[in-house]
Amino acid sequence: MTHRRRGGRTIALISAVGILMSGCSFFATSKNVNPCNVLTEAELASFGDYRDHTRSRIGKTATRCHWLNHTTEPNQTTLKPQLNITVNHKVRYRPADPDQGQRAGRTASGRSFKEREDDRTCTVTMPVFKEPSRKKQTGTIDIGVSMPDPRDNCPTARRMAEAVAPKLH
């Protein structure tokens, strides 16, 4: 009887080690995603001079990181390039709604995204979890880009999303 009990513990231990080694996280939440760290300094530098950022909480449900791009001289344009990355912890990802002006897409790593554009900004929204396995695995990440030439907004936001997507759950 003792041998059988120890065997059950061994199987449970082997299963737990297997889950950890496979990269799956049974306890993962969107709160583990830091919007200020989803792009490396080198990745940010490839889009311009985004050196300083400001991190803020938006209520109890979101965390935002904001960068100003210092590449553009303030006198050349009225809009300095900006980047906002926001993790919304309690929001469940919903597919794009064309009636809301959203376009659907998919990153090279296979993650769905939706894109919405207004006069000054383009925002790409992706689920934090590629395939949520539990009801509590909610969360979206928004990558909002504002450039002096609005035609650059969505292409830049999509390229940033390509860099961020493989780092999510």
Identity of the highest mean pLDDT range in 34-43, 67-76, 79-88, 127-136 = 34-43
pLDDT of residue 153: 93
CA distance 46 to 64: 21
What count of residues does the chain have? 169
**C-beta of residue 88 within 8 angstroms of C-beta of residue 143:** no
**pLDDT band at residue 18, thresholds of 50, 70 and 90?**
very low
- C-alpha distances in Å from residue 11, one per residue of 15, 21, 112, 146, 162: 6, 15, 36, 52, 38
Pairing mode, if any, of strands 140-146 and 122-127? antiparallel
Considering the entire predicted model, what is its pTM? Answer: 0.77
Work out the average pLDDT over 118-131.
Answer: 90
CATH T-level topology, domain 28-167:
Jelly Rolls (2.60.120)
